[in-house]
């Protein structure tokens, strides 16, 4: 097999369903425990998953009292306890400071030795009121501008800007630091960044399809998350990863019965994702059929504690047996695992590094 199917798992709260916390094996306070999060990460890595994603929101969710912890901080916590699995937190663009986002994600890429991704999202108008800012008239345009500014800041240090010359006491070659000045009329950003260029150059930028205004915006992203079951990968375009909510059969209950019981407690909203219910074996067969059609799938478990058990017992072993999964190698960057090139620095003044294969040479 030359084209693997990359498998991502979201590890947010009790699961994607708003009633998940009521059906979880973990109590609400345990949902936030570092040991639980570490367990998911170590297990996902051992099973050959490509990456973990971490949702986030600055607003309370009346349907889910469990809430969120900061996504970037959760990813950073796992950076030192994992060595292969990618770490992809949400960091919203609409009302965030681009400089801070750039520094946070670059720092995550350093601490994880090149396994960071960034799920860049828009925010609803209610977030503007919570931070006392005017409502953004064009959130999708704002996202594109923020990603552009962040990528510029990531390039404001050349790869060899840090010299660490003990004899002369010189830490950095100032000629390889570059001034960045982005002014959209709504906000301005000046660089260079306070963080040196990270192992991947640019962390992997992931954007939800609904946050793109038109096809030209797809160049903003390295990976597009799609809730369209008919989505297809395109040669030369960003990678396409399907966003799928799963409810799986367990030993005690069929998936449809579990979903009905969950909905009876708290009806689930439509988040624009594909919803899949059935056995773990049937899920594996469907995912196998997607190989070569899309580049990957992000799975959201209805009740993380329950559905992950079925995934690991049935779905993942079947995918490995079919040679659909290609586990990331320890020490590999997320770009290398995904087959993405390491971006050349737009401001580079010296000899360029080799950028094929996803890693600097």
Q: Which domains are assigned to the chain?
A: 6-358 (3.20.20.30)
Extract long-range pairs of 37-41: CB within 8 Å, 24+ residues apart. Answer: 37/11, 37/74, 37/77, 37/78, 38/77, 38/78, 38/81, 40/9, 40/11, 40/304, 40/308, 41/11, 41/78, 41/81, 41/82, 41/85
Q: Contact 198/217 with Cβ under 8 angstroms?
A: no
The conformational region for residue 268 under phi > 0 = left, psi -120 to 50 = alpha, else beta, is beta
361 residues of the chain, pLDDT tens digit each: 467 899 999 998 889 998 998 888 887 778 778 999 999 999 999 999 999 999 987 776 655 555 668 999 999 999 999 999 999 999 999 999 999 999 999 999 999 999 999 999 999 888 888 888 899 999 999 999 999 999 999 999 999 998 887 877 788 898 999 999 999 998 999 989 999 999 999 999 999 999 987 665 677 899 999 999 999 998 888 999 999 999 999 999 999 999 999 999 988 989 999 999 999 999 999 999 999 999 999 999 999 999 999 999 999 999 999 999 989 999 999 999 999 999 999 998 755 443 333 433 2
**Residue 333 to residues 113, 319, 338: CA-CA distances in angstroms?**
7, 23, 9
Pairing of strands 117-121, 86-92: parallel
- Assign 48 to helix, strand or coil: coil
Pairing of strands 204-208, 117-121: parallel
* Alpha-carbon span 148 to 220, nearest angstrom: 8
* Alpha-carbon span 205 to 221, nearest angstrom: 5
Q: Contact 142/122 with Cβ under 8 angstroms?
A: yes
User: Residue 193 has what DSSP assignment?
Assistant: -
Q: To which residue do tokens 């966003």 refer?
A: 243
Q: Contact 192/156 with Cβ under 8 angstroms?
A: yes
């Amino acid at each position: 097999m030359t084209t693997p199917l990359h498998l991502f798992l979201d590890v947010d709260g009790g699961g994607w369903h708003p009633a998940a916390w009521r059906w979880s094996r973990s109590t609400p306070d345990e949902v936030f425990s570092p040991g639980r999060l570490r367990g998911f990460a170590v297990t996902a890595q051992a099973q050959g998953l490509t990456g973990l994603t971490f949702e986030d929101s600055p607003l309370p969710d009346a349907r889910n009292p469990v809430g969120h912890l900061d996504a970037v901080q959760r990813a950073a916590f796992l950076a030192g306890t994992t060595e292969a699995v990618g770490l992809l937190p949400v960091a919203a663009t609409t009302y965030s400071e681009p400089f801070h986002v750039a520094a946070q994600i670059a720092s995550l890429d350093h601490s994880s030795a090149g396994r960071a991704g960034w799920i860049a999202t828009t925010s609803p108008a209610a977030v503007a009121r919570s931070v006392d800012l005017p409502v953004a008239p064009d959130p999708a345009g704002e996202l594109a501008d923020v990603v552009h500014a962040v990528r510029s800041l990531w390039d404001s240090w050349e790869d060899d800007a840090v010299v660490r010359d003990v004899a002369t006491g010189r830490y950095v070659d100032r000629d390889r630091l570059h001034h960045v000045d982005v002014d959209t009329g709504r906000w301005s950003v000046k660089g260079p960044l306070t963080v040196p260029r990270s192992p991947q150059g640019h962390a992997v930028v992931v954007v939800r399809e609904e946050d793109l205004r038109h096809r030209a915006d797809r160049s903003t992203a390295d990976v597009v998350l799609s809730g369209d079951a008919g989505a297809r990968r395109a040669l030369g375009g960003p990678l396409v990863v399907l966003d799928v909510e799963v409810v799986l059969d367990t030993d005690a209950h069929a998936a449809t019965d579990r979903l009905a019981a969950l909905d009876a407690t708290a009806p689930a909203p439509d988040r624009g994702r594909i919803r899949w219910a059935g056995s773990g074996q049937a899920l594996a067969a469907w995912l196998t059929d997607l190989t070569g059609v899309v580049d990957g799938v992000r799975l959201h478990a209805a009740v993380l504690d329950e559905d992950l058990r079925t995934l690991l017992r049935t779905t993942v072993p079947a995918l490995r047996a079919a040679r659909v999964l290609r586990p990331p190698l320890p020490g590999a960057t997320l770009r290398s695992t995904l087959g993405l090139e390491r971006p050349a620095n737009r401001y580079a003044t010296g000899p360029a590094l080799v950028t094929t294969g996803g890693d600097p040479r």
